[in-house]
Structure 1
């Protein structure tokens, strides 16, 4: 869970997630999931925020049943696919979800 202040402090990242979700044509549930995941797991280091934001978007779309490829999400968020791959499962687990076992 996050505080309302977290949303204000990370407004730039919420906007980036929203823009990328627009580009990926994700619905409101996927966007909301992604923002909630990000704000519940904001890293303290600024350099880690792009990867966590991208992984949050990927995981948020999965939760909403709107799967997009890691590559497509990475491109929309301007990070590497490996950044998404390395973070999305931990985000799901920390939020009480069980990642799929493909």
Structure 2
């Protein structure tokens, strides 16, 4: 879980989630889920935050049934596709969620 302070301290990153979500035309529920995931698993390093942001968007959309490809999410965030590929499963586990088994 996260606090209001986490929200304030990561406002820049939450704005980036919204910008990328606009680019991906994500539904509000996917955007909200992505922000919750990001704030629940936010790393210390700014470099790691970019990867977590991309994974949060991918997983948020996946969970809410508003799926986007890893490449589309990576392009919207400005990271490489392998960044999303490597980080999303770890993020699901950190958030206490169960990975899909397809």
Tell me which residue corresponds to 1:70: 70
Structure 1, unpaired ranges of 5+: none
Q: What is the distance in 2 between the residues matched to 1:82 and 1:18?
A: 22
Tell me which residue corresponds to 2:80: 80
Partner of 2:74: helix, strand, or coil?
Answer: helix
Tell me which residue corresponds to 1:89: 89
Note the alpha carbon deviations across 1:69-95, whole angstroms, 9 max, x for none: 000000000001111111111111222
Q: What is the TM-score when the length of structure 1 is the normalising length?
A: 0.96
Q: CA RMSD in A?
A: 0.8
Structure 2, unpaired ranges of 5+: none
* Count of residues in correspondence between the two structures: 102
Query: How far does residue 47 in structure 1 lie from its aligned partner after superposition?
Result: 1.1
Note the alpha carbon deviations across 1:43-77, whole angstroms, 9 max, x for none: 01111110000000000001100110000000000
Query: How far does residue 96 in structure 1 lie from its aligned partner after superposition?
Result: 2.2
Q: What is the distance in 2 between the residues matched to 1:95 and 1:49?
A: 15
Query: How far does residue 101 in structure 1 lie from its aligned partner after superposition?
Result: 2.1
